A and B are shown apart, each in its own frame.
Chain A
């Protein structure tokens, strides 16, 4: 079983749609969780950290379910500019060196 698993997609959605991605992780000791965005042939960039209480940043909402070991990302009112690959990232905790990336979920928002 992979340490971090994501549905690779692609998810093709119309502008204005709401889309949700899930990610599961295998190590229950994981402490830090993130969503990164990666545009085609570019470097990954932090989209948002994921907190136990859930957090929202504009149209983006991230949730963490420790009991089931999954993380979710919800994008509301999708824009063409949201088209990218979304990477789920897990880290063992403060100061720990190893960040585990999922394979990424491709999103294409259609006009």
Chain B
């Protein structure tokens, strides 16, 4: 296993609600990124956190926000949920020291918005 854990694994929300997804990175990994994967699509980059600061963002609106904590775990928050937010949300960690470029993914949180 990758050592990256995500919670919850599945959840159902309704339009307009807010959701928080959590991720614990692999030990020693100081960089966490979040991806959204819609059915039949590849993962789309949402943002990345390094040492508790957001240092990169994809084409997602501000209602997608995040945090990284001193232990490098991370949260993804989505406000004002829309039907199109239904997707698998993947957290990936990597180490920037001796970086091989490999991303280590968690099993994901599957969000359904009704």
Residues of A within 8 A of B (CB): 4, 8, 32, 34, 36, 42-46, 49, 87, 91, 94-104
B61 proximal to A (CB < 8 A): no
**Number of residue pairs A-B, CB distance < 8 angstroms:** 57
Q: Are B42 and A102 in contact (CB under 8 A)?
A: yes
Contacts of B58 in A (CB 8 A): 98
Chain A residue with Cβ nearest B43: A101
Q: Are A101 and B101 in contact (CB under 8 A)?
A: no
A-B contact pairs, 11 of them (CB 8 A): A4-B42, A32-B101, A42-B107, A43-B107, A49-B101, A87-B42, A97-B48, A97-B55, A98-B48, A98-B58, A103-B40
Contacts of B55 in A (CB 8 A): 97
Q: Are A43 and B105 in contact (CB under 8 A)?
A: yes
B54 to chain A, nearest CB (A): 9
Q: Are B105 and A44 in contact (CB under 8 A)?
A: yes
B interface: dominant SS = loop
Interchain CA distance A42-B110 in the complex, whole Å? 11
Chain B 93-108, CB within 8 Å of chain A: the 1/0 string?
0001001111101111
B87 proximal to A (CB < 8 A): no
Interchain CA distance A45-B101 in the complex, whole Å? 12
User: Among B42, B99, B100, which residue has its beta carbon within 8 angstroms of that of A95?
Assistant: B99
B36 to chain A, nearest CB (A): 11
9 new A-B contacts, CB < 8 A, other than A8-B40, A45-B105, A97-B48, are A34-B101, A43-B2, A43-B90, A43-B105, A91-B101, A96-B56, A98-B56, A98-B58, A101-B35
B33 proximal to A (CB < 8 A): yes
Contacts of B96 in A (CB 8 A): 95
Contacts of A101 in B (CB 8 A): 35, 42-44
